[in-house]
């Protein structure tokens, strides 16, 4: 658990997208189609600290990308706050956005789509440098200073010698090299935060590790705070200091990556860990129970989601309480929380089979 104050934080971050025009059954209200909302992200809290990676993991549709886009302020949020160094950082207008983007940069999943194929690397990086940096004498970055900055950027992402890459076009580069260019473009701003939305999922398995190691290097050498969005909990264990598990737009569990992946508290995290391909991602009896008792089924509809825990329909331990009231995040051990009634002191709590070796039992947790 980090004791420093976060560079970027979300408090109660909420995003409801407007959806179709009819209630189920097609009824109209007052002759006008009722507005329906997709509760893509609901009340999410998270913190990014300098020199640390936070992984946000979850299945497809759990709201991971929306969280990243909200933190990048590429889309407006419906509720909650984004805080930069503790200060409300909601941007209004282009200038404020540019100032924010100088400090908080995003890397996208698809390096093939995120680089313009008609421009060489030099053009892409020069544009980014000119947007964020000035020539020492003022004015636009140019000449020897520009060349030095281009070389330095390419070296930072380990594309050396720089002159081999600087005049290349995207189609001349591999997927991994393109993602390195996308990372270099983000670094042109000298950001304090990198929001990486599934940065390796479209890359060949053999080169994923290289990109994750590069990001780890930027975290360690430059002290950048990194948000790592992934559906692969095994890579979160390898790469992230802390991990937050998202399900149907809500945080289910958060803690240091080792504990979350090795001793998952929330039944949903146990399911994720149990279905991870890496045999090292063991999980104890809890995961086996989740797997054996079957948790088939789909995530709930995010349009007008029902009350209670959103995982309850798939949870083998769910009781009436889980289906009727939404559990808040409960601190189960220092720095470890789970949004599960099983860790509450309620008499009607479910018995979720607290994992062996877990820091506390349900009773202690609630004390």
Cβ contact 104:68 at 8 Å: no
Q: What is the largest CA-CA distance in the chain?
A: 72
> Residue 238: which H helix or E strand, with range?
helix 233-239
Cβ neighbours of residue 246 closer than 8 Å, sequence gap 6 or more? 44, 56, 57, 58, 62, 63, 64, 67, 252
Nearer to ligand ATP, 38 or 71 (CB): 38
Gap between the Cα atoms of 301 and 309, Å rounded = 13
CB of 82 to ligand ATP, least distance (A): 16
Nearer to ligand ATP, 192 or 232 (CB): 232
Nearer to ligand ATP, 165 or 268 (CB): 268
CB of 62 to ligand ATP, least distance (A): 4
> Residue 16: which H helix or E strand, with range?
strand 8-19
Nearer to ligand ATP, 300 or 327 (CB): 300
CB of 46 to ligand ATP, least distance (A): 14
Nearer to ligand ATP, 114 or 168 (CB): 114
Gap between the Cα atoms of 315 and 312, Å rounded = 5
CB of 77 to ligand ATP, least distance (A): 13
- Of how many residues is the chain composed? 367
Contact residues: ligand ATP, CB under 6 A: 17, 38, 40, 58, 60-66, 231, 302
CB of 175 to ligand ATP, least distance (A): 18
Nearer to ligand ATP, 109 or 358 (CB): 109
Buried b / exposed e across 206-238, counting CB within 10 Å, b at 16+? ebbeebbebbbebbeeeebbbbbbbbbbbbbbb
CB of 283 to ligand ATP, least distance (A): 22
């Amino acid at each position: 658990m980090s004791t420093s104050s976060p560079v970027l934080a979300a408090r109660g971050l909420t995003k409801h997208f407007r959806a179709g025009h009819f209630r189920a059954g097609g009824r109209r209200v007052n002759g006008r189609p009722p507005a329906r909302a997709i509760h893509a992200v609901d009340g999410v809290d998270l913190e990014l600290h300098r020199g640390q990676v936070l992984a946000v993991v979850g299945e497809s549709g759990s709201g991971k990308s929306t969280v990243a886009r909200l933190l990048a302020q590429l889309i407006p949020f419906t509720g909650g706050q984004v805080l930069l160094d503790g200060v409300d950082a909601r941007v209004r207008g282009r200038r404020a956005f540019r100032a924010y983007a100088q400090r908080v940069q995003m890397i996208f999943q698809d390096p093939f789509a995120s680089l313009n194929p008609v421009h060489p690397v030099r053009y892409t990086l020069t544009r980014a440098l000119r947007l964020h940096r000035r020539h020492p004498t003022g004015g636009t970055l140019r000449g020897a200073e520009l060349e030095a900055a281009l070389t330095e950027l390419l070296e930072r992402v380990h594309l050396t010698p720089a002159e081999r890459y600087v005049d290349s076009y995207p189609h001349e580069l591999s997927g991994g090299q393109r993602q390195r260019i996308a990372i270099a473009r983000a670094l042109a701003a000298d950001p304090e935060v990198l929001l990486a939305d599934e940065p390796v999922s479209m890359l060949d398995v053999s080169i994923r590790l290289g990109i994750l190691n590069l990001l780890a290097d930027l975290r360690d050498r430059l002290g950048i705070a990194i948000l790592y969005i992934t559906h692969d909990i095994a890579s979160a264990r390898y790469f992230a200091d802390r991990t937050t598990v998202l399900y149907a737009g809500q945080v289910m569990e958060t803690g240091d990556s080792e504990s979350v992946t090795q001793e998952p508290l929330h039944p949903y995290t146990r399911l994720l860990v149990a279905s991870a391909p890496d045999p090292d991602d063991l999980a104890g009896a809890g995961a086996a129970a989740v797997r054996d008792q079957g948790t088939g089924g789909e995530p709930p509809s995010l349009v007008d989601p029902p009350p209670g825990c959103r995982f309850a329909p798939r949870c083998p331990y769910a009781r009436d309480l889980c289906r009727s009231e939404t559990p808040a995040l409960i601190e189960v051990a220092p720095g470890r929380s789970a949004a599960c009634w099983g860790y509450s002191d309620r008499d009607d709590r479910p018995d979720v089979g607290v994992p062996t070796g877990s820091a506390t039992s349900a009773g202690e947790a609630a004390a």
